[in-house]
Amino acid sequence: MKQIEVSEFLVTQGEMQAFTSAMQTWERLAMRDENGPEQHAVLVNDENACLVTAVTQFASAERAAAFRETGLGDELLARVSAHCDKAPVVRHYSLYYEAGPEGPDVVFGQDVHESG
């Protein structure tokens, strides 16, 4: 089952450029890791640009756990926390259901298009 990590940040006013630079440095390292994420996205709140959410998707819970063991997740928090007003909140989720234009792609955590 795919693992999703959601990190919420409150970026210090005037620190968005430094925050973004720190995030991108981490992304380059993370994407090169053999257990690194499949995807990583950063969302900025429309009403308050200081509220930022990072969504990181891993192929499986096992790969996410192996990635966390490398310490790169902690490195992200250390890099970006210097540009935040408070400690980030990090939550872990399993991808339970996903749909696209053709209908469901993942149901009960299983890819419906996989054979066998």
List pLDDT tens digits, range 50-100.
999 999 999 999 999 999 999 988 888 888 999 999 999 999 999 888 888
Partners of 99 in the β-ladder: 104
Residue 22 pLDDT > 80: yes
**17 falls within a domain:** yes
Convert the chain into a string of H (helix), E (strand) and C (coil).
Answer: CCEEEEEEEEECCCCHHHHHHHHHHHHHHHHHCCCCCCEEEEEECCCCCCEEEEEEEECCHHHHHHHHHCCHHHHHHHHHHCCECCCCEEEEEECCEEEECCEEEEECCEECCCCC
**114 falls within a domain:** no
Residue 103 pLDDT > 90: no
- Say which amino acid occupies 98: E
- Confidence grade of residue 48 (pLDDT, cut at 50, 70, 90): very high
Total tally of structural domains belonging to the chain? 1
- Confidence grade of residue 14 (pLDDT, cut at 50, 70, 90): very high
Domain CATH code at residue 39: 3.30.70.100
**107 falls within a domain:** no
Domain that holds residue 26: 3-91
- Confidence grade of residue 115 (pLDDT, cut at 50, 70, 90): low
**12 falls within a domain:** yes
Q: Give tens-digit pLDDT for 2-13.
A: 999 999 999 999
Token digits for 45? 């709140």
**87 falls within a domain:** yes
- Confidence grade of residue 19 (pLDDT, cut at 50, 70, 90): very high
